[in-house]
Amino acid sequence: MTSLLALTRPDLFQTQNFIAGAWVDSTAHYPVVNPATGALLAQVARAGATETQAAIAAAQQALPGWRRTLAKERGTVLRRWSALMLAHCDDLAALLTAEQGKPLAEARGEVAYAASFLEWFAEEGRRVYGEVVPPHKLGARVVVTKEPVGVVAAITPWNFPLAMVTRKVGAALAAGCSMVLKPSEETPLSAFALAVLGQEAGVPAGVFNVVSGDAPAIGDAVMQSDVVRKVSFTGSTRVGKLLMRQASDTLKRVSLELGGNAPFIVFDDADVDAAVVGAMASKFRNAGQTCVCVNRFFIQDGIYDRFMERFAVAVRALKVGEGTAPGSDIGPLINTTALQKVERHVQDAIALGANLIVGGESHALGGTFYQPTLLTNANVQMQLAQEETFGPVAACFRFKTEDEVLALANDTPFGLSAYFYSRDLARVWDFAERLQVGMVGVNEGMISTEVAPFGGVKESGFGREGSSHGLDDYLSLKYMLVGGLRTGG
């Protein structure tokens, strides 16, 4: 099948599974559609258990050769891969927007962000240092080394079809692991394009495999395999918990990056203009479909009116449209289930006393487009206070004291990210320490970067991605006690 998109590199459009360095068809196929138009983009080979087992076998076969290469050589491949992504940024962004819906400018930003993980781990991979420990007895030496965990599986979501993949595959390959990736069945085209560029960069056959299709069947095959020693998952808490249960049969290691319920707190002493900029970026990026998106805004009494007035102006100015339309800020939601959840949350909030300030309905463009929405007078009984809305809806609460807002912010099973705006240095440190989350943005609304550890606490999961810590998830410690030596000295 050829692409309807005008790509500079038409071969980046692939619709089959990538196993052992080859494109492999399946007996069944499924449609991938453009969420902005409903138009068919591709009929994609639908992988199940058979394809997954083949991909695992390919990764197993490729593992010894890959883990034997020098870290420097693996780094060279990863750096080339990163450079190829940047060189083909427009094509990758076009594919990404077509299957995911986000505005093209955001898609280009994601390409650069995704490429940064490959570059980062190309460098970090050379610093997998061990330890020489003072021994516990004479005539012995104690040495600790780090080894790749082996064949790993990655299961990724549709909201960042490239970046969620590269921050796993960059770390895994730098560590010397081989990988089977299952991208979201909604957005496999970006992952396939990534595989094309990986092969071109010199990733050997079998080191990186991609299977997309029947999620539970692929998931079961991965989780039942005793070859796969680790699974790294980004997605819903529901599926994360299922995978963790399944992992117990083979005692696989798991890293889970799950949902959040991020608070965004504006204290009386905040820079109000900076707070509005941060609020817009952290709420409305990707139409509110990121796991670090703000889900609850808490505004202190003394700044409430000034903040809300400016926030409402900014929300009203957002332009809704297809990702390819010039100037679009907000694209469609990924599918009708997502739209229904947003509608349910807004209706429930209004029924429980929220005031609708902006939006509140499906957008005139139809499909899964929803109006950027601003609600005030939110309270903890509302569904949107308890679950991630994952849409362009800002729900605002008013608070009086720091203790009150801390209790509200932490009153959730989730603990991924939190944001707050304050210029009181004493408060900044203390308050950040008392937030039960893995990541805090202080006077910043955008916290994602390859240089810092991304991950959560509580039911937002565990494991860290990016940063020097991102490699740890793909490494095992081995300790060697060498006895019978001379004592030296």
State in angstroms the smallest separation of the CB of 407 from ligand ADP. 28
- Looking at the Cβ atoms of 216 and 413, the one nearer to ligand ADP is 216
State in angstroms the smallest separation of the CB of 6 from ligand ADP. 28
State in angstroms the smallest separation of the CB of 431 from ligand ADP. 30
Distance CA 32, CA 35 (A): 9
Residues found near ligand ADP in the complex (CB under 6 A): 155-157, 182, 184-185, 215-216, 219, 235-236, 239, 242
132 - beta bridge partners?
143
Half-sphere CA count of 308, side-chain side, radius 13 A: 21
State in angstroms the smallest separation of the CB of 217 from ligand ADP. 8
- Residue 373 phi/psi, 5-degree rounding, is -130, 140
State in angstroms the smallest separation of the CB of 433 from ligand ADP. 30
Give the pair of three-digit tokens for residue 36.
């902005």
479 - beta bridge partners?
144
- Looking at the Cβ atoms of 150 and 219, the one nearer to ligand ADP is 219
CB 212 within 8 A of CB 99: no
- Looking at the Cβ atoms of 250 and 381, the one nearer to ligand ADP is 250
Of 177, 291, 293, 396, which is the active-site residue?
291
- Looking at the Cβ atoms of 111 and 223, the one nearer to ligand ADP is 223
421 - beta bridge partners?
266
Answer yes or no: 177 catalytic. no
Distance CA 117, CA 92 (A): 16
Chain residue at closest Cβ approach to ligand ADP: 219
Q: Which of 244, 237, 89 is nearest to 162 (CA)?
A: 89
| Structural element, H or E, at residue 356 | strand 355-358
Q: Which DSSP state fits 21?
A: T
State in angstroms the smallest separation of the CB of 159 from ligand ADP. 7
Distance CA 222, CA 264 (A): 37
- Looking at the Cβ atoms of 60 and 246, the one nearer to ligand ADP is 246
On the 0-12 / 13-18 / 19+ scale of CB atoms within 10 A, 193 is buried
| CA 41 to centroid of chain Cα atoms | 23
- Looking at the Cβ atoms of 80 and 168, the one nearer to ligand ADP is 168
State in angstroms the smallest separation of the CB of 245 from ligand ADP. 11
Q: Where are the beta strands (DSSP E) in 217-260?
A: 228-234, 253-257
- Looking at the Cβ atoms of 187 and 282, the one nearer to ligand ADP is 187
Answer yes or no: 396 catalytic. no
Give the pair of three-digit tokens for residue 418.
């939190």
Of 119, 257, 322, 465, which is the active-site residue?
257
Distance CA 299, CA 262 (A): 14
Distance CA 293, CA 342 (A): 14
Q: Which residues are catalytic?
A: 257, 291
